[in-house]
Chains A and B, each alone.
Chain A
């Protein structure tokens, strides 16, 4: 077992006791709640006549069902089911003294965007939420885990979850990223190499030069997709980048209290001589942007590579998955993903819905327009992100290019609101899952990529290399990449 890692230290700090079945009872320092997975848990609590144990450690917002068109956010919502869920959350949070960031608060958004930007997520915490992308908060050096509704009931009633300690795999990502290559490409590269179930039984500790060089928004994107690699959680040790990001945020203490808190943050980082269960090195030096070609996030290639043949995979399961993917995506082995027709471009989500994501996409869009017939959506991850983008004038770049500039929510990542694919539409998406049916249509097709790549796909109406738009004298390291015919 691992020893001296951040995971070990944070686990020990939060361990209440060992339960009779061998699991640990673990205190949850930050519980994030949204409208979809919580109403059943609040109902269970009521049935048992239990109160919320730590309302001050519980924060709620609405994201999954949130309409992203301004006029559709008037109450009551026109979608009756969505209104019922939102009302239930408002009632449950008010009744239990839980802070709720609703539409009027100006802070509403995706839980995993809101909590980091408000400074709620901090190093050395345990974070739980009824959403698998809770691993996102690991970017600060916390342990973030996604939980089911019965476990939400556990956390509401006791402030704790019953959990098994996992093995710790250190992933050293070495090298430096070229222009137009981002954190999203790093995590897709990791999943390409380790597989979608490679992380089962593990938490991932990301480190190495490529990770240390990332800003907090990039680190959030990497940790966000830990679950796509099968890892229950993923984290990055806190450093000056982390502390400087936190300084001055709403829920972060100031002055001496900040320094005291920082001492705790520093104390929980992995020791230099920590023992890991496993260590893996990923070479990210000079990688090209990655795009998925299939129906799980592990079916991914660098943009200069061609779609692999099913026979090229060693594992039977990978071969069968590839066959299914080729059929669903209507592609052939040996083809490039460059030029794959796109009907919809979707920017946003808890993976890539932050200010820097829109900034990078805007660089591509500057002076360009969305290809005719392409539906292009820019959905900020939170209202705070939206306001900051608007303050910088980024919204105008999107609108002028032909994007719809929306309000905050999960939107077309999983299409629980009105934003959905239709028929067999292809979506160039900055989200995290390309599962069949994920974006609201069972025949819909999703190609995952970075925000800049989504913008380039929107402009060309097909999968394209965003670097063509970013740097006039690009180095040309991407072997086999077509030149864009202007």
Chain B
């Protein structure tokens, strides 16, 4: 079955790569929504079976160790999501922001 509709796809941004990025971001947003619905189903089924109540979930307060582990996870998560921003800064710090700087590296190993 064909996946793409026949006909040239329009682009809207000055750089068509941004259009592509938008589509990828929205696909991810869609999958987050799919996961959220599945989790919601799990919670409701678990509640129906008396395994837990959703009030228990709402009332849950992590103990200090759990809170610390969660904080570590969130820190790592944010770092992963914003990886490109951190790497941009590292590149500035190392002076590797121009194409010439990389071409120099090619020259260095090729000559």
A binds B: no
The interface of chain A, by Cβ under 8 A from chain B, is: none
Residues of B at under 8 Å CB distance from A?
none
